Amino acid sequence: MATAVTETIPPSLPSTTNTISLDTYDEEQVRLMEERCILVDENDKAYGEDSKKTCHLMSNINTGLLHRAFSVFLFRPTDGRLLLQKRADEKITFPSMWTNTCCSHPLSIKAELVEENQSGVKSAAIRKLPQELGIPSSQLKSEDFIYLTKIHYLAPSDGLWGEHEIDYILFSTIDVDLNLNPNEVSDAKYVSKDELEAMFSDSDNSFTPWFKLIARDLLYPWWDEMLSKSKDQGLNGVDAKVLANGPKVGELIKML
């Protein structure tokens, strides 16, 4: 008997996509809006590509358009503090907000489409960390990124822009040098859990929605486990590799 093949049918996008003007936005950020994101269905099955602009318009998101993303959480191995960044004012989506170390998208290119061992999203992280934070690429290795899970979430930025992503969460504990790209990042700092909680409690701070979701439901238990297991195993510092194959590793978690 022949096996039926299920084909992903892409959503029908509004005809207004190409009429949205980007003339008032930063020139470099507009250029980045032409990057080609990986389109996926709700099971994270890749079926095509489209521009970053198309993927982030709420008019398209409301039809169900969904793309692949990643979020890096980089901790300092000496003390387990988490590196945060504040997104630059020039960013088109979620400007001037605090967030995790790096959050972006694998592109529809050969190296970043590889799904085995999450190699594609790890390659994308190694591409973006130097571009945003100025971390030398020589300090970044694929094996230093530990994949924990992926989340499916949707979040408006304003009336025009938003996010609808399947977001791969990567932890890493490496020492890095920073040289911030001011067009991407206006500030960066390492924080402890208590310091992050204090930041969340301060109404003067604003945070990206994916970071708030991850912090609310996932970050703190993983952070605690990483610190405690690193100590219990007598490691010289904190190592994210102690979380490999732990709870929720590999699950697709819906946060809609």
Average pLDDT over residues 130-146: 98
Give the pairing type, strands 98-99 and 82-87: antiparallel
Residue range 55-108, pLDDT digits in tens: 999 999 999 999 999 999 999 999 999 999 999 999 999 999 999 999 999 999
What residues does 191 pair with on adjacent strands? 82
Q: How confident is the model at residue 5 (pLDDT cuts 50, 70, 90)?
A: very low
Chain position carrying tokens 């959503």: 11
pLDDT at 256 over 50: yes
Residue 1, pLDDT > 50, answer no
Q: What is the DSSP string of 46-68?
A: EEEEEEHHHHHBHHHHTTT--EE
pLDDT tens figures, 171-201: 999 999 999 999 999 999 999 999 999 999 9
Whether the pLDDT of residue 27 is over 60: the answer is yes
SS3 (DSSP) at 252: strand
- Does the structure show a pLDDT above 60 at 166? yes
Query: Strand ranges (DSSP E) for the chain?
Result: 36-40, 46-51, 67-75, 82-87, 98-99, 102-104, 146-156, 162-173, 185-191, 252-255
Cα separation, 167 vs 248, whole angstroms: 14
- What is this structure's pTM? 0.93
Residues marked active site are found at 103, 165
pLDDT of residue 55: 98
Which residues, in sequence order, are CB contacts of 139 under 8 Å at separation 6+?
Answer: 174, 175, 176, 177
- Averaged pLDDT, 13-35: 85
Taking 60 as the threshold, does the pLDDT of residue 3 lie above it?
no
Which is nearest to 37 in space by CA: 144, 159, 166, 227? 166
What pLDDT score does 4 carry?
Answer: 46
Crossing angle for the helix pair 193-201 and 220-232, nearest 10 degrees?
170
**Residue 224 pLDDT exceeds 60:** yes
Between CA 96 and CA 101 the distance in angstroms is: 14
Please give the average per-residue pLDDT across 34-63, as a whole number: 97
Q: How far apart are CA 168 and CA 68, in angstroms?
A: 8
